[in-house]
Amino acid sequence: MTGSRIRPPAAALMMLVPAGCAELPATLVPRGGDAQAIADLFWIFLLVCALVWVLVVLGLLLALWRRRGAEETADPLAGHDRATRIAGRAVGIAVALTVVALVALTVLSYFTNRSIANVARDEHLKIRVTGHQWWWEVVYDDPKPERQVATANEIHVPVGEPVELELLASDVIHSFWVPSLAGKKDLIPGRQTSQTLEVHKAGIYRGQCAEFCGLQHAFMGLTVVAHERAEFDAWQAAQLKAAAPPADTLRQQGERVFQTKGCFLCHAVRGTTAAAKVAPDLTHVASRRTLAAGALPMTRGSLAAWIADPQAIKPGSKMPRVDLSPDELEAVVAYVEGLT
Ligand code: CUA
C-alpha cells in the first residue's frame, strides 16, 4: 500500500488546500497504516449514512406528495387494505435494512479497532515517547545502552516498517496524535500504552498533543520524519555520536557558560559532563527542525530568543530565564548552534 491510495473525496479536498500547506495534518489524507484504516472506516460510515439520509428524505417527500394528492374521505381512519399492506411491508423492509446496516457497521468498526490495537511485538524498532509539560522525550530503545539514542520533539522512522511506540506520561495526561499517520492515543501517568506506526510515504508529518495539559498545551507539537531505510540508518548513526568538542574560542566560551550557568542541571550533552534528564537532550539539538516543541523554527535568532527569555515565548514552561550578559548569550547560542 502506498500514499497514492488517497480516496477520491480526499483527493478533491486536497485540491482545496494551497500547495504550500501540503504538510498540514490531515486525517483524510492518510500516510500511515492506522490512519488509512481509520480513513477507510470514516468514508464507509459517511457513504452509508449519507445514503440512508437521502432515502429517508425521499420517503418523506413521497409521503408528503401522496398526502396532498389523496382525496379527503369522510372517515380519515378508514384505511385502504391494499395501501396498508404495502406500507406495512415497506416499514418491515426498512427495519430489516436498518438492522443489517447497524450490524455491518458495528462489525466493521470492531475489526478496524482490532487491527489498530494489534501492536507489532517482534523485532521492530522500538521508540519510547514520554509526554512532559510541554515537550516530548523520544528514546530509541536498544538492549545495548551505548546504542540508545535520545532526542526530543522529533521522531525519525524508516518508511514501510512497523515501528512500536511505547507511550508514557511523566506528569499529567497528554495525547499523542499525528493525524496523517494514526489515531490519537492518551498518555496517562503511571500507565504504559503503545501504538504501532507504519508510514507509507517518506516525508515530514506534524503531530500535536491532543489533550489539554496546561498552559502550553497548544505549543506541545512534534514532528515525525519518515526516511528511506538507508537515510534513517545514517540519521541514527549520526545521533549515536557524542557531541563534537567545540573547536573555536566562542563556542568554547559558550560551553563554559553552559556548564556554569546551570544549563547542565537539566540538559544532557553526551560527551560532556552534562547528563541531566529533566529537559530535552541537547547532544544534537541543532539537527532538529524546530525548537521548544514546535514553537519556533531552529534558527540562530530563535535560539537566542528562547535562551534569553523562554518565559516570553512559552509562559509557564519549566525552562527558567537565566541572566546572561550579551557576550555570554552570544557564546552559548554559538555553542548550542554547533550541536548538530
Ligand atoms: Cu500535552 Cu496537551
pLDDT in tens, 131-160: 999 999 999 988 887 788 899 999 999 998
Question: How far is the centre of ligand 1, averaged over its atoms, from the C-alpha of 214 (Å)?
Answer: 7
Q: Which residue lies with its CA nearest to atom 1 of ligand 1?
A: 174
Ligand 1 proximity of 187 Cβ (cutoff 6 Å): no
Task: Return d(Cα 311, Cα 246) in angstroms, integer.
Answer: 28
Question: How far is the centre of ligand 1, averaged over its atoms, from the C-alpha of 176 (Å)?
Answer: 8
Q: Checking DSSP bridges between strand 149-152 and strand 174-177, what pairing results, if any? A: unpaired
Question: How far is the centre of ligand 1, averaged over its atoms, from the C-alpha of 169 (Å)?
Answer: 10
Which atom of ligand 1 lies at the shortest distance from residue 173's CA? 1
Question: How far is the centre of ligand 1, averaged over its atoms, from the C-alpha of 186 (Å)?
Answer: 10
Cβ–Cβ < 8 Å for 181, 208: no
Ligand 1 proximity of 211 Cβ (cutoff 6 Å): yes
Which atom of ligand 1 lies at the shortest distance from residue 211's CA? 2
Cβ–Cβ < 8 Å for 136, 223: no
One pLDDT digit (tens) per residue for the chain, 340 residues: 333 444 444 444 444 444 444 455 577 778 877 788 888 888 899 999 999 999 999 988 988 887 766 655 556 666 667 778 888 888 899 899 999 999 999 998 888 888 777 655 556 788 999 999 999 999 998 888 778 889 999 999 999 888 999 999 999 999 999 998 888 999 999 999 988 888 988 999 999 999 999 999 999 999 999 999 999 999 999 999 888 888 899 999 999 999 898 888 999 998 888 888 889 999 999 999 999 999 999 999 999 999 999 999 999 999 999 889 999 999 999 999 989 8
Ligand 1 proximity of 220 Cβ (cutoff 6 Å): yes
Question: How far is the centre of ligand 1, averaged over its atoms, from the C-alpha of 54 (Å)?
Answer: 40
The whole-model pTM stands at 0.75
Chain position carrying cell 556548564: 259
The CATH superfamily of 20-70+78-239 is Cupredoxins -  blue copper proteins (2.60.40.420)
Residue type, 130: T
Ligand 1 proximity of 217 Cβ (cutoff 6 Å): yes
Cβ–Cβ < 8 Å for 279, 318: yes
Ligand 1 proximity of 213 Cβ (cutoff 6 Å): yes
DSSP secondary structure letter of residue 51: H
pLDDT of residue 71: 59
The CATH superfamily of 242-337 is Cupredoxins -  blue copper proteins (2.60.40.420)
Ligand 1 proximity of 129 Cβ (cutoff 6 Å): no
Peptide bond between residue 134 and the one before it cis (omega within 30 degrees of 0): yes
Cβ–Cβ < 8 Å for 331, 257: yes
Question: How far is the centre of ligand 1, averaged over its atoms, from the C-alpha of 68 (Å)?
Answer: 58
Ligand 1 proximity of 332 Cβ (cutoff 6 Å): no
Question: How far is the centre of ligand 1, averaged over its atoms, from the C-alpha of 230 (Å)?
Answer: 33
Which part of the chain has CATH 2.60.40.420?
20-70+78-239, 242-337
Which atom of ligand 1 lies at the shortest distance from residue 213's CA? 2
Q: Strand, helix or coil at 177? A: strand
Residues making up the chain, counted from first to last: 340
Question: How far is the centre of ligand 1, averaged over its atoms, from the C-alpha of 175 (Å)?
Answer: 6
Which atom of ligand 1 lies at the shortest distance from residue 220's CA? 1
Question: How far is the centre of ligand 1, averaged over its atoms, from the C-alpha of 225 (Å)?
Answer: 20
The gap from C-alpha 61 to its chain's centroid, in whole angstroms, comes to: 44
